[in-house]
Amino acid sequence: MFERLIERKIAVGFLLGLNFKNSCLVLPRLCKGEVEKEAAKGR
């Protein structure tokens, strides 16, 4: 179970790093929070 959590975090980080928009399609729930963070940075 713990190993799976690590794998998932790595996969999520990889997707976000590789292509932010594509990762949003794969992980819309996670992406909502990330998009808000990015929007806050842009201001």
pLDDT digits (tens, 9 = 90+) for 1-43: 678 877 888 777 776 666 666 656 666 776 666 667 767 777 6
- Domain regions of the chain by residue span: 2-42
pLDDT of residue 12: 77
Instruction: Compute the distance between CA of residue 28 and CA of residue 21 in angstroms, rounded to an integer.
Output: 10
Q: Is 9 within 8 Å of 16 (Cβ atoms)?
A: no
pLDDT of residue 4: 81
Helix (H, G, I), strand (E, B) or coil at 34: helix
Instruction: Compute the distance between CA of residue 25 and CA of residue 4 in angstroms, rounded to an integer.
Output: 21
Residue 10 has which token pair? Answer: 């790595």
Task: Check: pTM over 0.85? Answer yes or no.
Answer: no
pLDDT of residue 18: 63
